[in-house]
Structure 1
Amino acid sequence: MAHLKVLIVDDELSIRAGIRNLINWEESGFTLVGEATNGRDALTQIEQYQPHIVLTDIIMPLLNGVELSNIIAKNYPEIQVIVLSSHDDFDLVKSSFQNGIVDYILKPTLTPESLLAILKQSAAKIKLIQSEVDPKIKLENALNQYLSGYTSDFEFEKLSDLLSGKRYHLLYSSLSLYKQPQEMRKQIQHYFNLIADDFATIGFITSQNDVGLLIGVTNSETKDLRAYLLYKIGLLDFCETHPFFTLSSSFEELWRVKVEFEMLKTASQNQRFYFKNLAVVDKKDLLAYQYGHEFDSPYFLKTLVNKAYLAGISQAKAYLNDLLIHTVSPVFLKEQTSTIFYNLFNVLENNKYLHDDFAKNRMTFIMKLNSCEFADDFSLLVRKTIESLETTLNGSLDHNEVFQEILDYIEAHFSEQITLTALSEKFHFSYNYLSSYFSTNYNATFSDYLKTLRMEKAKTLLKNSELNLSEISEAIGFSDLAYFSKVFKKEIGTSPSKYRRLDNGAY
């Protein structure tokens, strides 16, 4: 028989530790699945771990042992309750035996032998109860133990008889994905019951909150199984709008069930983030997360120090878009985003660019970010925050002064080999942001802007200087006279020499 699960309930850490170390639980046929500090905490852990035996104190805050035993007797009659008592509260224990308490242990006289004797007494009652339980329920309990790692033995022959299929699939989810795990557990069970109407199945829920269904199918049924599962989900109204399940590939040998379970559990981690509108995903369609490259923090911080805030925001926006395109792990994505905006908010607030309302709102940004369940929610939050920041900054910064410095630099160095990359590095603007400035304000690329400036300088030199064409070509940044002449004719409509003659009135 699989080990029986035991939950300890006592508000004193020393008592819990003493009981935990009093006997060798595993060798005695028991497994400690949890420790609760009061009755309310115990009820939560009972839902989570489904213990066979609850070992509880009487005097505790919030919900005492007598109240707890009343609730267990009513809602979990299969659970055996053993009370830890002191001499002072013996009358309380005595009056609560009607609630199904197996026995009590006096704390001052607690020994390994007395504890083990009462545990075995409880185990005998549980065996008697389990002997009357439906064989499928017994098999489900055994599967829970097996997948939870509490036992390495499993009767696969009985499982094969129950499922009677030629192939098998695992349907998997985790209750930890949901904000209302206990309610979702009930609704998922309803979903599994619908599937059981059409297929041979056996469900499981492990002590780690893994929940799933092992499904036996014929060769022909395996092809359309995912479509069937999606259809059945559509018939239900879940308390949370986006349930998420993953479906394993089919396998023929039942002894592979634990291997398939562990593979599916690992592959499913953090996947729901990118599958907002897909309730059942085949394992083969799960995303293989790429390792995202680190953000260029030194450059970003340099832009902030130089008050090129919009350039820094543009850099951050491009980086986060790239991470989303390459489907990096949601954990990595949120960590990078949190760091970027933390630095940005701090600098802007310190420099008085954020009004009071925005400063208050930004305090909730990190919390909202961490609670984003899906990529769509993440993108919307980041986009709205960036738009709000850009609106605030556009009303606060003097862009003309900043960009005039750039234009003055180009005017003074137009004959040199200036590139947009060099300008972005010198003035701490992102390449894309600087490029968009020229497109927006001059309806031209930076290269076109520089070319137009050089042609205007060439026209001035052709009109007002005695320099020959080669000297003029070199003076405006062209090393090759033929290429200069070609560009000049294309832009101005005539050759440099003809332009000079026409300007001088010569024919």
Structure 2
Amino acid sequence: MQTAGYCKVLIVDDEVLIRQGIKYFIDWEREGFHIAGEASNGQEALERIEELRPHIVLTDIVMPIMDGEQLTKEIKSRYPDIEVIVLSSFGEFDYVRSTFQSGVADYILKPKLDMQHLLTVLKLTAKRIPALQTGQGGGERSLTMERLLDSFMNGFESSFRVEEVKQFFPHAHFRLVGSNDRGVAERLTELPQSVQVLLPQPQERTAHAWLINGNETAMSAALQMVKNRTSANGGAVAVSPVFSRLEELSSVYRDSLLKLLQYAFYLPELDVLVFEELPQPRPAPQPFLLNKLTEAFKWGQFNEAFGELRDHVSAMAACYTLDVFEFKSFLGNLIFNMTVLLSNMEYNSKSLETSKYEYFKKIEQSRSANEALGILDDFIAEAEHCIASKAADSSNENIKKLLQYIQNHYADPLTLTEVAKHFHFNPSYLSSYFSTHNEEGFVDYLHKVRIGKAEELLQAGDAPISEISGLVGYSDHSYFCKVFKKNTGLSPSQYRRQYRSNGK
């Protein structure tokens, strides 16, 4: 870019709107100035000064990292030929006075920032630079392509004449080709009968993009070339629709190119994304009901809860128009809320409490929806392990309580229904639960305990067998004898005689 004869200006302010407002409010190059760059703090400004070597630095006073006062001192120490103009508020007079002592050329009050006044101050300051031949009022200077594209990319109203634009872009059609990976974006080679330019890349933009200007044939050739040369080893490449006016550049970049690159997160199988060739998007699912998940956790319905959750996030991932940040935030919120739920329910979730931050980080860094869903699955697997650990502990404790209750109440007329009522179980569930966690079912275990107690009584004395049957919970003497023989192989009387004949 040719800037010879121009006075180069660096704008330093931590507010991007201030920088952009100054940069685009006036046609600086027609006035003999070139906005060489921007910086958001003093430290960044020093790096840009070394690179750009501006004639004038226009700086704010209050900024993070390094303020305008310190920046002024550094500039005057390292680059005494560079002039400094300070932007300040009314309450910063002491700072302004300090900067004057350091050698600033002038200062302008921000609340009364008037672009014509700023232009006047810049021109007066430029005259103080002996080595600079500014050629004030240089309307005859040639337009630069960078300035042209930068203006259109930032969506500012254009004062450029048609013939000025055509000197750089003579053809009727435009197309953007871009990628988040600059190396991928630069794989394009020259197309015949076309102009190809890598767009300016300010810090605020994320995608690297080529602007292609050519006829209809060149537009089709560009698309085909991208498809042929793109490798799955690199990042996704987006191809915008064809547009006919350079004034559309900002909206096409924002509403077409950036959206296509976002869609790549959900469509990793596509190396090249072209608007008109995208698959039909699926509708977004209804909002997820967190209270429903909470209720399912409360009732121990974890399998159902995790199943519905997986179905929901899979439906979200199938909707490629969903904002990627929103999708990742949703997964992060799920992990956070499930960890809190399990902790509140007194599950051993210490490992989850520690690892959740690693899950957050992995989701944030995930490059595709499938990768993010895999990370959520890893979290669910760890959560299920925590749940299973407590379930096993809880089951052991519950079965102990059940067995102890039977030991304490075997002489009572116990039934499955009565025990289930005491422990707030459904009778059929208790029956299944008991069989799952004990060697015998409920009835068999109750008989085992009662017969064991009957054996002790038969061994201990001469109490009538009919009395013993009642003492161990059997109201029917004949039924007691039948159960006793089934469990020991002997009738109660045979058992007593054999015990005594053995000398026990």
TM-score normalised by structure 2 residue count: 0.55
**2:256 partner SS:** helix
**Which structure 2 residues correspond to residues 103-122 of structure 1 after superposition, within 5 A?**
104-105=105-106, 115-121=118-124
Deviation at 1:352, TM superposition (A): 3.4
Match of 1:337 among 331, 335, 347: 331
Q: Deviations over 1:435-482 (max 9, x none)?
A: xxxxxx9xxxxxxxxxxxxxxxxxxxxxxxxxxxxxxxxxxxxxxxxx
With over 3 angstroms needed to count, the CA separation of the structure-2 counterparts of 1:53 and 1:255, relative to structure 1, is same
1:293 aligned onto 2:296: no
**Which structure 2 residues correspond to residues 242-321 of structure 1 after superposition, within 5 A?**
242-252=234-244, 257=249, 260-265=252-257, 267-268=259-260, 270-276=262-268, 278=270, 280-286=272-278, 288=281, 290-321=283-314
What code does the residue aligned with 2:295 have?
K
Whole-angstrom CA distance in 2 between matches of 1:310 and 1:248: 44
Q: Deviations over 1:288-312 (max 9, x none)?
A: 4733212243332211111222332
Q: Indicate if the aligned counterparts of 2:192 and 2:218 stay in contact, CA closer than 8 A.
A: no
Whole-angstrom CA distance in 2 between matches of 1:58 and 1:332: 37
With over 3 angstroms needed to count, the CA separation of the structure-2 counterparts of 1:59 and 1:150, relative to structure 1, is closer
Q: How many residue pairs end up in the alignment?
A: 366
Greater Cα offset, 328-337 or 300-309? 328-337
Q: Deviations over 1:25-78 (max 9, x none)?
A: 97665799999674124468999x99996313699864842586489979xx9x
Q: Indicate if the aligned counterparts of 2:201 and 2:208 stay in contact, CA closer than 8 A.
A: yes
Deviation at 1:361, TM superposition (A): 0.5
Greater Cα offset, 201-210 or 355-364? 201-210
Deviation at 1:362, TM superposition (A): 1.8
**2:332 partner SS:** helix
1:7 aligned onto 2:11: yes
- The answer for the alignment partner of 2:487 in structure 1 is none
Q: Indicate if the aligned counterparts of 2:237 and 2:273 stay in contact, CA closer than 8 A.
A: yes
**1:363 partner SS:** helix
**Which structure 2 residues correspond to residues 146-185 of structure 1 after superposition, within 5 A?**
146-165=152-171, 167-172=173-178
Deviation at 1:145, TM superposition (A): 0.6
Q: Indicate if the aligned counterparts of 1:38 and 1:62 stay in contact, CA closer than 8 A.
A: yes
- The answer for the alignment partner of 1:229 in structure 2 is 226
1:56 aligned onto 2:59: yes
What value does the CA root-mean-square deviation take over the aligned residues? 5.6
Q: Indicate if the aligned counterparts of 2:175 and 2:239 stay in contact, CA closer than 8 A.
A: yes
Deviation at 1:333, TM superposition (A): 2.9
- The answer for the alignment partner of 1:349 in structure 2 is 343
Q: Indicate if the aligned counterparts of 2:260 and 2:274 stay in contact, CA closer than 8 A.
A: no
- The answer for the alignment partner of 2:423 in structure 1 is none
Match of 2:356 among 352, 362, 367: 362
With over 3 angstroms needed to count, the CA separation of the structure-2 counterparts of 1:37 and 1:297, relative to structure 1, is closer
Match of 2:213 among 205, 216, 220: 216
**1:370 partner SS:** helix
**2:265 partner SS:** helix
With over 3 angstroms needed to count, the CA separation of the structure-2 counterparts of 1:331 and 1:130, relative to structure 1, is farther
With over 3 angstroms needed to count, the CA separation of the structure-2 counterparts of 1:374 and 1:297, relative to structure 1, is same
Whole-angstrom CA distance in 2 between matches of 1:266 and 1:132: 36
With over 3 angstroms needed to count, the CA separation of the structure-2 counterparts of 1:251 and 1:196, relative to structure 1, is same
What code does the residue aligned with 2:275 have?
K
Q: Indicate if the aligned counterparts of 1:163 and 1:216 stay in contact, CA closer than 8 A.
A: yes
Whole-angstrom CA distance in 2 between matches of 1:126 and 1:188: 42
Deviation at 1:148, TM superposition (A): 0.9
With over 3 angstroms needed to count, the CA separation of the structure-2 counterparts of 1:255 and 1:62, relative to structure 1, is closer
With over 3 angstroms needed to count, the CA separation of the structure-2 counterparts of 1:232 and 1:90, relative to structure 1, is farther
Q: Indicate if the aligned counterparts of 2:85 and 2:105 stay in contact, CA closer than 8 A.
A: yes
Match of 1:394 among 388, 399, 422: 388
Deviation at 1:346, TM superposition (A): 1.1
1:205 aligned onto 2:200: yes
Whole-angstrom CA distance in 1 between matches of 2:55 and 2:277: 39
- The answer for the alignment partner of 1:503 in structure 2 is none
1:145 aligned onto 2:137: no
Whole-angstrom CA distance in 1 between matches of 2:367 and 2:216: 36
Whole-angstrom CA distance in 2 between matches of 1:151 and 1:5: 22
What code does the residue aligned with 1:246 have?
A
**1:169 partner SS:** strand
For structure 1, list consecutive stretches of 5 or more residues without a partner in the other structure.
94-102, 178-183, 236-240, 403-411, 413-426, 428-440, 442-507
Q: Indicate if the aligned counterparts of 2:150 and 2:200 stay in contact, CA closer than 8 A.
A: yes
Deviation at 1:164, TM superposition (A): 4.4
Deviation at 1:385, TM superposition (A): 1.5
Whole-angstrom CA distance in 2 between matches of 1:261 and 1:126: 38
Q: Indicate if the aligned counterparts of 1:39 and 1:68 stay in contact, CA closer than 8 A.
A: no
Whole-angstrom CA distance in 2 between matches of 1:138 and 1:310: 64
Deviation at 1:245, TM superposition (A): 3.8
Q: Indicate if the aligned counterparts of 2:154 and 2:250 stay in contact, CA closer than 8 A.
A: no
Deviation at 1:360, TM superposition (A): 0.6
Deviation at 1:389, TM superposition (A): 2.2
Greater Cα offset, 361-370 or 36-45? 36-45
With over 3 angstroms needed to count, the CA separation of the structure-2 counterparts of 1:389 and 1:44, relative to structure 1, is farther
With over 3 angstroms needed to count, the CA separation of the structure-2 counterparts of 1:320 and 1:57, relative to structure 1, is closer
Whole-angstrom CA distance in 1 between matches of 2:26 and 2:340: 58
Of structures 1 and 2, the larger Rg is shown by: 2
Identity, % of aligned pairs? 15
With over 3 angstroms needed to count, the CA separation of the structure-2 counterparts of 1:243 and 1:53, relative to structure 1, is farther
- The answer for the alignment partner of 1:465 in structure 2 is none
Q: Indicate if the aligned counterparts of 1:145 and 1:206 stay in contact, CA closer than 8 A.
A: no
Q: Deviations over 1:100-149 (max 9, x none)?
A: xxx722689x99787542223578969759989996x8023112112312
